[in-house]
């Protein structure tokens, strides 16, 4: 396989029949985990952020899904659910011009310098 084809497959084509990695319906799978779990504060905030972005018309859940699918199978294996959501929300906000990466990077540095805890990171 040449490098262009290899790149194309990594981008989400998992099979020669055109099935993309996330399109799992009908595939063999192990048992469904049935354990309940609570969500961390930051995870609830990511969920709320998606609702805000949709409500303000920045992008829709379709854009979220598209970005999640385009991350590929490696991300699905190595990142948690809301880590992937956060990356997908950011991808859409950058694409829609809501902020620039320069603005995001600057802001992240400012907040990181306040401290590691939620309390320290609060404004003021």
Partner 1 sequence: MAERVRVKTMSPPGHVRAPHYLRGKTGEIERPLGAYKNPEQLAYGLDAAPKELFRVRFTMAEIWGDRAERAEDTLDAEIYAHWLERL
**Binding-site ranges for partner 1 (CB under 8 A):** 8, 11-13, 17-20, 23, 25-26, 59-60, 62-63, 65-66, 69-70, 92, 95-96
Nearest distance from residue 23's CB to partner 1, in Å?
4
| CA pair distance 40, 76, nearest whole angstrom | 19
CA angle, residues 112, 78, 86, in degrees to nearest 5: 45
CB nearer to partner 1: give 43 or 49: 49
Residue 91's contacts (CB-CB under 8 Å, 6 or more residues apart) are: 67
Q: How far is 30 from 48, CA to CA, in rounded Å? A: 31
CB of 65 to partner 1, least distance (A): 6
Nearer to partner 1, 2 or 36 (CB): 2
Q: Report the residue number, 18 or 124, with the smaller CB distance to partner 1.
A: 18
Task: Classify 20 as helix, strand or coil.
Answer: strand
């Amino acid at each position: 396989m040449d490098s262009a084809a290899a790149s194309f497959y990594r981008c989400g084509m998992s099979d020669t029949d055109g099935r993309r990695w996330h399109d799992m319906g009908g595939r063999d799978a192990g048992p469904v985990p049935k354990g309940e779990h609570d969500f961390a504060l930051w995870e609830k905030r990511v969920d709320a952020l998606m609702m805000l972005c949709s409500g303000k018309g920045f992008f829709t859940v379709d854009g979220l899904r598209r970005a999640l699918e385009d991350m590929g199978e490696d991300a699905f294996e190595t990142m948690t659910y809301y880590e992937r959501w956060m990356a997908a929300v950011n991808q859409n906000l950058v694409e829609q011009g809501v902020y620039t990466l320069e603005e995001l990077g600057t802001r992240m540095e400012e907040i990181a310098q306040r401290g590691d805890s939620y309390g320290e990171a609060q404004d003021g």
